[in-house]
Chain A
Amino acid sequence: MGRTLAEKVWDDHVVRHADGEPDLLFIDLHLLHEVTSPQAFDGLRKSGRQVRRLDLTIATEDHNTPTLDIDKPIADPVSRAQLETLRKNCADFGVRLHPLGDVEQGVVHVVGPQLGLTQPGTTVVCGDSHTSTHGAFGALAFGIGTSQVEHVLATQTLPMARPRTMAITVDGELPDGVTAKDLILAIIAKIGTGGGQGYVLEYRGSAIEKLSMEARMTICNMSIEAGARAGMIAPDETTFEYIEGRPHAPQGEDWDAAVAYWKTLRSDEDAVFDAEVVIDADSLSPFVTWGTNPGQGAPLSAQVPDPASYEDASERYAAEKALEYMGLTAGQPLRDIKVDTVFVGSCTNGRIEDLRAAAAIVEGRKVADGVRMLVVPGSARVGLQAVDEGLDTVFKQAGAEWRHAGCSMCLGMNPDQLAPGERSASTSNRNFEGRQGKGGRTHLVSPQVAAATAVLGHLASPADLSDADARTPAGV
């Protein structure tokens, strides 16, 4: 019987298999950041252990880092202490670190791919649930807890139970103005926040094959919001082209050997998935969330749902609680929802393509009165590229704030937070209660919807913009 992509990558990393035990998997790449690693390094110290494979380990600073005044000491002493702890740990153990201010610093899931470290057929882990992002390259990539971080540091392996596989087949073509973000939000709304539990999802089909690497990363990134262990997309020419020439891409004969291997990383025709979901790309439209988990979403053209319409008691109660928290009423058109803040950034939508898309919409327009728009590149490199392309100027002329790289308002561990009751349209991945700041209310959206929303002041898609919104001449 044929094997799925996930099974092939899994099989190629089994160090030890014994019946009745989890497989011991080899880890090709371990990404570290300041939040989930301190207790792991402490554990190594207590046991007198070293980092087994420094050549497969890399660290950066992202969750706590400020996006303003990065040349000054970090104001929050607790954040500063956590970053200093990472710096000390990396120095003590010899781990490569890209700290704040370094040109390779950024959100860990943006940094790995841009360095060319994320490659097809590798196993990638990080103490961060959005590690699923790297699956866009046909890597098996999953988030782990701090105990597992310590385990990988010490052994470069992880004992893991073999996951089940689910095919998510998306055929057809995404209509104009419909993005990878809309697609993944629609998938999560369909299968639910627990729908992927225990599975590795493989996104496939003609609509997926047409997507850029950035778009594929957006999709795989949010696999965790459907509860999945990981999300994957089979590597193809788009993948190879993205990797070629990057600092850690294989070279010469290694490149040829790598590509030959990568081309084998497709689910076999006769492979059997444990579950399958089919989505018609042509039927999709811009999608936004209205509730407090990423599965509580609907097309932008729809209304806030009535909790009474849910048959399942627990879903009904969850919807009631969500509307109460979000300050929304059933039946209210989603387009009428006014926002205070627009956040463009994060490991979901903080790559160059996302910034270009948002910039193209705000160019020659103004952010609505009373709305704050924050644009935070996913990495310092993305920021530099955006500056090269003049995108920072476009954003600033529109009245948006152009910031330095980091996780920023996705989770508000740094000063970029919502105030209580404040409402955002955010290109990030989680609309949990208080995620972006205590009492903050989050609507998850694509970069395009974020930009249109910033201009109009209420949830909107680019199609809602008219020439009248272009209050200043385009093109500078």
Chain B
Amino acid sequence: MLSKIIPELGHFALILALLMALVQAVVPMAGTLTRRPLWMAFAKPLASGQFLFLAIAYLCLTTSFLLDDFSVAYVANNSNSMLPWYYKTTAVWGSHEGSVLLWSLMLGGWGFAVSQCSSQLPRDMVARVLSVMGMVCVGFLLFVLITSNPFERLLPNMPQDGADLNPLLQDFGLVIHPPMLYMGYVGFSVVFAFAIAGLIGGRLDAAWTRWARPWTNLAWAFLTVGIALGSWWAYYELGWGGWWFWDPVENASLLPWLAGTALIHSLAVTEKRGSFKSWTLLLAITTFSLSLLGTFLVRSGVLTSVHAFANDPARGTFILVLLGLTVGLSLLVFALRAPRVSHSIGFTWLSRDALLLVNNILLVIMTVTVLLGTVYPLLLDALGLGKISVGPPYFNALFVPLTGLLCVFMGLGPSSRWKQMSGRELFKRLLGAGIASVVIAAVAPLVYGGQWNLWVSLGLVMALWIVLSLGRDLFDKVRNASSLGIGLRRLSPAYWGMVVGHLGLAVTIVGVTMVSNYNIERNVRLAPGESVEVAGYTFAMQGLRERRGPNFIADTATIDVSRNGEHRFTMQPEKRLYLARGMPMTDVALRPGLLRDLYVALGEDLGDGSWALRIQFKPFVRWLWLGALLMAAGGMLAVVDKRYRRVKRRAQQPVTSDTSGFKEAQA
């Protein structure tokens, strides 16, 4: 029967994809070196074929899950016949092996997308880019096939039923969080491939940055959404209402995000002004390298994390070799081939060039700080200096002031001009915004909380400074237009992308500030019929009942929430016991709102008929993720800018890597 050999088909498709990736890695690159158009032409069909076979392999694994084929070890470990069908399809990336397969599939997908959208790129550039992506894919497919094969069988002793998917993963947030995150990680492979291709081909003109920018923005937007989803998931699923723990796994996703943010900005300078070329290339390599490093940290077991995958030294060694080869070789290519600096492209203090330089330096310092804090315990341990922990207090102490500094320059940047800007003019333009943000931020805590709070004011002044200076810039841009509508429409999508993205950060900062300072948390004991007041809301316990879910049993509490004596709504927190794993879980009751969340978690039965409850009032917590979505939207918006589709005409002009800034500025 065909269904019996599905795992073998998947395995076979994976091997075929590997072979195609191998050819894709070697032949087109050889073609560019020997100037053989036919060899270069191999790149596109191979990228498509590789993606096709990866998709087949992936579908085969999904089918095995849906058919409850517990003879496949991975299915047996991560599924159960009682698991709802939709979780069976998402359990595919519920653990290590399948998630690496998803990684590879996405890598193939990005390669396929590049091959489809590359009609405007010169042939040799396409060949080099796809060749580099092929090399990365070879590495990952070897990793899957040698150390993490999801199609391995448990024959002849197959289990009767599976061990079930970890209950933490049986949840919508975690269903979409990993794919988004991986799309981001893997997406940075495109700009990485562009950088390596550019270095090898010596083609690093303004056209190069124009090709690389949309891909970078897209990957960055995915990563932003992925990180936000992870934070949102931790918030409602882990049961204690935290949204960022500075866990190594979170840091692993933040590292490429920070470097990617720096890259987006330095690409802007390189495109507009032709300067910072080597720097941009280094950032492109760094960003993808940090994605790989994150993979290593999460999957090798060198760091302890709440979310780490199972430790396996063989896998750790393999990823380290992969990391070493990819990063080491690309940095070597960089060292050998990076273009000469041209000091001829001048700019002054307070010019946009200089402000973006400050932005880049700050973002790099933030990246280094997070990396240092994450690996420092490992460094000390490796040197035999004992075990320490580096956690939230350390990261907050350094990250918050650095963010503040970044925000100061973020306010100046959009209003400044390229090349040169007089301090007096900038001052005149932004004085109003500055004063207004300080005044509003100073008063806001009095109005909201009833008493002055320095930290709230500082946080809000940053957010307001970003927003008001953006508003001022927007006003300057449209005031000469005949009407507001015309003025607004004349602004480019890239500009709007910047506005929305920066606005997103301001929104996130408001969220962080408010929820950190005005969060109210109370642990109470409540018996049916009793009530308690938290932050002006009255929580009245109505009763408890037992409930049976598809693969768990639960104690459900019913709590009526009222305000000013008026009944508002009912909340039902749960304590679940997942049967297959015997694992207890909380299912918190959430009442989300734009200005506040109410958050109730059910604890233990205290014996005398009362239960422990954790009730939290979380003001502005939604703004955290709303801001992240805005940032991602900004990144996407910039992708649709028309100038990325005018590339072809320009690409045909012969441009060399050391074009003067003047020429590029015209282009």
> Do A and B share a complex?
no
